[in-house]
Amino acid sequence: MDPQELRVIANRIRRRDVTAVYEAGAGHVGGEMSVTDLLTALYFNTMKVDPAAPLDPARDRLVLSKGHTALALYIVLSEKGFIAKDEISTFLEHRSRLNGHPNRVKVPGVETNTGPLGHGLPVAVGMAKAAKLDRASWRTFVITGDGEMQEGSNWEAIMAGAHFSLDNLTLIIDHNRLQQGARLADTNNIAPFAPKLEAFGWAVEEIDGHDMEAICRALSADAVTPGRPKCIVAHTNKGHGISFMSDNVAWHHKVPNEEQYRQAMAELEEAIR
């Protein structure tokens, strides 16, 4: 798909996400707005996945380590055909399989359960190492939040990824500068990320995480450095696309009221015209 087609899909995903959060009365809408472009590019441009065969051994894998943004993943999976689009309306309902964090046992296309931060990248390192042992060509992608990178388990995984020369592994840091309740800079400011990852032996690229052309180029197999895992530092905005949510820490875990919901939908609809 060309970048404009991907932007249209991403906008549709954002609108469905805002509606689902509004209807459910819960969610993590701010971080979902920041990660949507990355997920859209992965599933509709980069990754080799087949909704008819979600467990195909040759498929590419995505681990959404920032599992609290599960709703964005569910909507992407529904747009791709892994689950029915109308199932999104059951988000967080009693006995719905669309929980607040992804569950691989319940939802086709989810590769591993996530929620406790700092677990996704270690799992992804294991996946990438398994592919190397099998001499398989599939790739592993993992998305973390920038606040999540404060977890020590991630840095152990970063060391292992470089040690095993996992050039089939791509880490994407959703660098929206905000975490739950505060700015990254005011909590434990581990930015800038690029020199740290480079010091551990990773190939690093910094991009605008809302620029579809830049995202697709960075995710391309042609952008892989042989023998080195890759980190993409994607500079994003929490609440992207919605004026009152953008770069606003309050929207980590907040639900729009009716007036805010209407404004958000109007702004998103206007953005794609």
For residue 153, the surrounding DSSP H or E stretch is helix 152-163
Tell me the pLDDT of the chain averaged across its residues. Answer: 97
Report pLDDT digits (tens) over 187-197.
Answer: 999 999 999 99
Question: Residue 105 and residue 137: Cα distance in Å, rounded?
Answer: 25
What b-and-e string marks burial along 175-214, b requiring 16 or more CB atoms within 10 Å of the CB?
bbbbbeeeebeeeeeeeebeebbeebebbbbbbebbbbeb
- Do the Cβ atoms of 22 and 227 come closer than 8 Å? no
Contact residues for 273 (Cβ-Cβ < 8 A; gap 6+): none
For residue 76 the two structure tokens come to: 């992407």
Q: Please state the separation of Cα 226 from the chain's center in Å.
A: 24
Residues in the chain, pLDDT under 50: none
- Do the Cβ atoms of 20 and 27 come closer than 8 Å? yes
State the pTM of this model. 0.97
Question: Residue 166 and residue 160: Cα distance in Å, rounded?
Answer: 9
Which residue in the block uniquely carries the two structure tokens 């055909």? 81
pLDDT of residue 272: 85
- Report the chain's C-alpha Rg in angstroms: 17
Which three-class secondary structure state does DSSP give residue 92? coil
- Do the Cβ atoms of 181 and 249 come closer than 8 Å? yes
Question: Residue 211 and residue 101: Cα distance in Å, rounded?
Answer: 27
Q: What are phi and psi of 115, to 5 degrees?
A: 165, -65
Question: Residue 16 and residue 265: Cα distance in Å, rounded?
Answer: 9
The CATH fold assigned to 3-271 is Rossmann fold (3.40.50)
